[in-house]
Amino acid sequence: MGKRILVTGGAGYIGSHTVLQLLLADFSVAVVDNLDNSSEAALERVAKLAGDAGRNLSFHKIDLRDRDALKKIFDSTKFDAVIHFAGLKAVGESVEKPLLYYNNNIIGTIILLETMANYGCKKLVFSSSATVYGWPKEVPCTEVFPLCATNPYGRTKLMIEEICRDIHCGDSEWDIILLRYFNPVGAHPSGFIGEDPRGIPNNLMPFVQQVAVGRRPALTVYGNDYSTKDGTGVRDYIHVVDLADGHIAAVEKLFQGGSKTGCQVYNLGTGKGTSVLEMVAAFEKASGKKIPLVMAGRRPGDCETVYASTSKAEKELNWKAKYGIEEMCRDQWNWASKNPWGYGKPDESTNPST
C-alpha cells in the first residue's frame, strides 16, 4: 500500500484529475468534498479509469468546516499528506459575496490545518493561483514577484499563503508547497472526466466549450484593445493533466528523504502566452466547430498579459508541462462532445467500462 493522501475538493475539476494520477502512482486517496461545485459521478469515473487502483479511493461527502466530521476521518486513517483544493473560485461572485468566500475558503482552511496539526500530519500541498501576481509589471512571472489581490477570492489565496508561511515559521516540522496555477484547461484524454461548472461559466474555455455544443449562442470577448499581438488578453494555459502531474511531483518532493522542504512556492504553467483569439482558433481547428464571437469591453479586474516562469518548478520539482494548446483543445473537445451536459445527464456511451 502506497502513502495515504487526503484530498480536499477532490471531486472538482483539478481535484478529480489529480486523484486519478495519484491512484495511478500507487497512492491511497481519501477525498473530502461537499459537492457544492462538483458531482460524485466524477469520482466514480476516476475509480473506473484507475482500474485495480480504483479500490484505493474513498469518498467522504463533508464540508471542511464540519470539524467533527473531519476529525472522524483523521481518527480512522493516518494520512501522510494533504492536498488542499477545496474552495470557492468565482471571482465575480466573491466581489458580491465576500463573506461567503472568507467563510468557506479561510475558515475551511483553518479548520483543516488545525486538524492536521492535532493529528501530527504536517505535510501540505495548497492550490494557490497566478491571481496573486495581480497585473504584473513584467512577464514571465517569477515566484519572487510582489504579491497583491484585487478581489476577495484572490485575497483568500493570498491570506492562505501567508497563513502557511506563518505556521511553518512557528513550527518547522511543517512541510508546505504552495502551487500557483496559471490557467488550467482541457480534460483527461479518455474524455470521461473534465470540467463541469455550475451555472454560466466564468472562464474562457468552459464557455467556448458550451458554445461549441450549442448550449450558448456566442462567446463574448472581453477587450480587444490590449497591447498584445491581436488586442485580446494573453494567458498561460496549462493542460489539466500536466497540472495534476505537477501535484504528484510536489507530493514526492514532500516525501523526499533528508532535507526538509520548508514552505516553498512554485508556479505551474507552461511559460507560453496565448491570446483569447489564438485559443478560440485552436479550439475551432480541434473541434471543427465555428465559435461565433461578440466583441465587448474589458472585464473589470482583468489584466493584459500573464504567463509563468517555469524554471523553479523544472529545477526543484523535476516537472515540466508536456502538452501544448493543440492537445488542450483536442481533449477539451473530446470531453465536451462526449459529455455536452457534463456529468448532468449520465449517458451509457460515457461509461469507461463499456
Tell me which residues are annotated as active site: 153
Q: How far is the CB of 130 from ligand NAD (least distance, A)?
A: 7
Does residue 130 touch ligand UFG according to CB under 6 A?
Answer: yes
47 binds, among ligand NAD, ligand UFG, none (CB under 5 to 8 A by kind): none
Does residue 129 touch ligand UFG according to CB under 6 A?
Answer: yes
Q: Exposed/middle/buried for 143, CB within 10 Å: 0-12, 13-18, 19+?
A: middle
Applying CB under 6 A, which of residues 4, 285, 289, 299 lies at the interface with ligand UFG? 299
299 binds, among ligand NAD, ligand UFG, none (CB under 5 to 8 A by kind): ligand UFG
Backbone angles phi, psi at 267, to 5 degrees: -75, 140
**Number of residues this chain uses to bind ligand NAD (CB under 6 A):** 29
Q: How far is the CB of 282 from ligand UFG (least distance, A)?
A: 13
Q: Which segment (60-68, 268-276, 289-297, 339-347) binds ligand NAD by CB under 6 A?
A: 60-68
Q: Is the peptide bond before 206 cis (omega within 30 degrees of 0)?
A: no
Does residue 94 touch ligand UFG according to CB under 6 A?
Answer: no
Q: How far is the CB of 98 from ligand UFG (least distance, A)?
A: 15
Spell out, one character per residue from 112 to 151, where the chain touches ligand NAD: x when CB under 6 A holds, - when not. Answer: ---------------x-x----------------------
Does residue 184 touch ligand NAD according to CB under 6 A?
Answer: yes
Query: For the chain, how big is the Rg over CA atoms in Å?
Result: 19
Q: How far apart are CA 79 and CA 71, in angstroms?
A: 12
Residue 260 vs 308, nearer CB to ligand NAD: 308
Q: How far apart are CA 229 and CA 281, in angstroms?
A: 14
Does residue 94 touch ligand NAD according to CB under 6 A?
Answer: no
Does residue 89 touch ligand UFG according to CB under 6 A?
Answer: yes
Q: Exposed/middle/buried for 238, CB within 10 Å: 0-12, 13-18, 19+?
A: buried
Q: How far apart are CA 197 and CA 13, in angstroms?
A: 8
Applying CB under 6 A, which of residues 150, 203, 311, 337 lies at the interface with ligand UFG? 203
Q: Number of H helices and number of E strands within the chain?
A: 12, 13
For the record, the C-alpha cell of 305 comes out as: 498579459
Does residue 127 touch ligand UFG according to CB under 6 A?
Answer: no
Q: Is 179 helix (H, G, I), strand (E, B) or coil?
A: strand
Instruction: Choose among 179, 237, 206, 209: nearest CA to 18.
Output: 179
Q: Exposed/middle/buried for 67, CB within 10 Å: 0-12, 13-18, 19+?
A: middle
Does residue 37 touch ligand NAD according to CB under 6 A?
Answer: yes
Binding site for ligand NAD (CB under 6 A): 9, 11-15, 32-38, 63-65, 85-89, 104, 108, 127, 129, 181, 183-184, 203
